[in-house]
Amino acid sequence: MKHFISLTDLTLKDFREIFQLTEELRNNPQRFNQVLGGKFIGLLFEKPSLRTRVSFEVGINQLGGKAIYLSSQEVQLGKRESIGDVAKTLSKYLQGVILRTFSHQSILEFAKNSQILVINGLTDLLHPVQVLSDFYTIYKRKKDLKAIKICFVGDGNNVCNSLILGSAKLGLNLWVASPLGFEPDKDVIKKALQIVKKTRAKIRILNNPELAVKSADVLYTDVWTSMGKEEERTWRREVFEEFRVDKDLLRLAKKNCLVMHCLPAQRGEEISSEILDSKNSIVFEQAENRLYVQKALLVWLFRR
């Protein structure tokens, strides 16, 4: 069973097939309304979610499947029961699991013991379903992904890590600006640098947001304080102050630069309301595309 844990699980051909399926699903949804007929998909979430949960539940139902939501109250991974035992048990009832967990090691352990499809709905290290959808959103707007400059400004978190790995696989030009000490994961960077030897992607990691944003076609940001680190929010505001996406920073990018945010946003912190609600912003288009791309991903994975 091949799972979807990271964007590095996909080839360039896979990306193309999923994006093509996304187009087909959008244009002719009725053709796919029984693709998951008779299949039960578990949503095992240690972290609460709005977009990931709703988009997957709606998508699974639109494809004829049944979504079963399991919170941390029902399933306490590694506490009330070992991760391996949970994976083996759910493999007897379900045809797939979308796992949203704090620890990336948890999903690796779960997948190792699972006899059914496992999809990474978010870990502390990666958020591949989000970024897969984001690349589709950029593609719809810009077409030639290799001809543009993408910039991420903010915390080197799971979204940033997946952007790096995905950009490396697709051969893109990605600039990342994070405060000193908040750069992306070192192992992720190391893996990306190995990939770019083949794809000729350009990955730049900086501590200067103004330099990174200069002439960008796409400007992406995310919250300064990730879920589970709320106690750090006050001092993180001071550290990240110069990394806010506002009109002054956006002026350094191209005039028609697209502004992206995976949401939820803390207005006035990592991004100003003025920019979030501006004509450059495509954040709610991003959110909408989560539904279409994740449906395509499910169809593609179950067809293999």
User: What is the pLDDT at residue 116?
Assistant: 98
Given the residues 244, 262, 286, 294, select the one marked as catalytic. 262
For residue 89, the enclosing domain spans 7-126+290-303
Q: Are residues 214 and 245 in the same domain?
A: yes
Among residues 53, 104, 130, 185, the one annotated as catalytic is 130
Is 257 in the active site? no
CATH number for the domain spanning 55: value is 3.40.50.1370
Q: Is residue 16 located within the same domain as residue 53? A: yes
Confidence at residue 234, expressed as pLDDT on a 0 to 100 scale: 85
User: Residues 164, 280: one domain?
Assistant: yes
Res 1: pLDDT: 60
Nearest residue to 151 (alpha-carbon basis) of 224, 237, 247, 250: 250
CA pseudo-torsion sign 91, 96, 101, 107:
positive
pLDDT at 75 (0 to 100): 86
Instruction: Tell whether 191 is covered by a domain.
Output: yes
Tell me, yes or no, if 204 is annotated catalytic. Answer: no
104 is annotated as an active-site residue:
no
> Could you say which of 127, 236, 244, 261 is catalytic?
127
133 and 280 belong to one structural domain: yes
Q: Helix, strand or coil for residue 224?
A: coil
Burial profile 244-277: b = 16 or more Cβ within 10 angstroms, e = fewer: bbeeebbebbbeebbbbbbbebeeebbbbeebbe
**Would residue 100 show up in a list of annotated catalytic residues for this protein?**
yes
User: Is 222 annotated as catalytic?
Assistant: yes
**Active site residue: 222, 244, 257, 294, which one?**
222
Both 146 and 267 in one domain: the answer is yes
| pLDDT of amino acid 268 | 96
List, for residues 64-81, the tens digit of each pLDDT value: 999 999 988 888 787 889
- Tens digits of residue pLDDT in 70-124: 988 888 787 889 999 999 999 999 999 999 999 999 999 999 999 999 999 999 9
Catalytic status, residue 130: yes
Give the chain's residues under pLDDT 50.
Answer: none
Assess contact for 236 and 224: CB atoms under 8 A. yes
